[in-house]
Structure 1
Amino acid sequence: MSLPALLKPSPEEHAQLLQDIGPLPLQGMAWPKWIKVLAWAVLAFIGIQITRIAASPVGQNISPMVSGSIIVCFIGLVILARYMTVSETRITESGIQQSWLGRREVAWEDIQFAKFIPLVASKRLICFVPRGRPVVFQAGTKELQVAFARISLVYRRRK
């Protein structure tokens, strides 16, 4: 038996996990509503400040390269905020997925271990896979947060 097989939960533990999570697929918003509102409020404030400074005499003296860079950065922040607003996390029989700029997904058999990180702004599940970087998923709903905590208990690091 290979070392990674010893570290993973048994098929019975995995089946019990899926049963405990509830009817699948479990789907919800990736970010809490208050974070999305805060992100858009901050962007509105930044947009107003950019407009106010651009319309003032000081704004007329700013280099076109600098002002162009600021506008490109602002557009990038708007795109990120939009993806935060529409991003969803989904737990299925085959694994975990999250829509984002690119699709994040991991199959159950690829997870070596998982860690639940309950930050104030975002409840995260970090899934460690055999190769490559860990895959991070956000939970914006209570149901997803509970499921993430259960997943991390079953897929905890074993010795």
Structure 2
Amino acid sequence: MQIGFYQPEKTVTGPAYGPGFKVMATVLCAVLAGYGTTVALRYPLLQYGIGVQLLLLGAALMLGVSYYWFLRSVVIIDERGIRQTWMFNRQVEWRDVRSAKMIGIPFFTWLFPPRLVVRTGNAFATFNGGSKPVLIEFAKISLAFQMKK
């Protein structure tokens, strides 16, 4: 096994999305579900074509799946690399990382904490940090790859 440039001191695990984001997602999903319910009660949806029914069912299903993964997504930083669980898991091994940088949205860090953007050859992977230990490790990774240049 080839060792990459960066190796964390210990395994760091934490949620990918912070409490502010989870609260906002909960409110938004509740509002959308409530609105969908009022639309279903006001209009005779069973009289519409199967295409419209499948579209509405698919939208409701994707809302539920996305909400579930916003609440359950986890970031793991260990000796192998960085992983984030989601509907489709993201994984980058240390040997594949070419550069790493933290980016954030000024004045909105309470809702969208900084993210780690990792460059691997021609591709980019973005990892969300929803807890302090994960963000600290993101800062260490970013600093290590800035010093590498």
Alignment TM-score, normalising by the size of structure 1: 0.77
Question: Contact 1:114 / 1:157 at 8 angstroms: preserved in 2?
Answer: no
CA shift for structure 1 position 157 = 8.1
Cα RMSD of the aligned pairs, angstroms, is 2.2
Pair 1:146-2:136 in alignment: yes
Equivalences, count = 139
SS of the residue corresponding to residue 134 of structure 1 reads strand
Give distance in 1, aligned partners of 2:73 and 2:40: 33
Q: Among 87, 91, 100, which residue is 2:86 paired with?
A: 100
Look up the match of 1:41.
Answer: 27
Give distance in 1, aligned partners of 2:97 and 2:61: 35
Look up the match of 1:55.
Answer: 41
Supply the AA of the counterpart residue of 1:35.
F
Give distance in 1, aligned partners of 2:87 and 2:102: 22
Query: Where in structure 2 are there 5+ consecutive unaligned residues?
Result: none
Percent of matched pairs sharing the same residue: 25
Rg larger for: 1
Question: Contact 1:123 / 1:138 at 8 angstroms: preserved in 2?
Answer: yes
Question: Hey, which of these two has a bigger chunk of helix by percent?
Answer: 1
Deviations 1:90-145 (A, max 9, x none): 110121111111221111111000110123314211110014x2111110001111
Supply the AA of the counterpart residue of 1:60.
P
Question: Contact 1:124 / 1:138 at 8 angstroms: preserved in 2?
Answer: yes
Look up the match of 2:95.
Answer: 109
Query: Where in structure 1 are there 5+ consecutive unaligned residues?
Result: 1-8
Question: Contact 1:32 / 1:141 at 8 angstroms: preserved in 2?
Answer: yes
CA shift for structure 1 position 67 = 4.2
Alignment TM-score, normalising by the size of structure 2: 0.82
Q: Among 66, 86, 90, which residue is 2:76 paired with?
A: 90
Give distance in 2, aligned partners of 1:26 and 1:82: 22
Deviations 1:23-60 (A, max 9, x none): x211000000221122122111111111112212xx12
Supply the AA of the counterpart residue of 1:129.
T
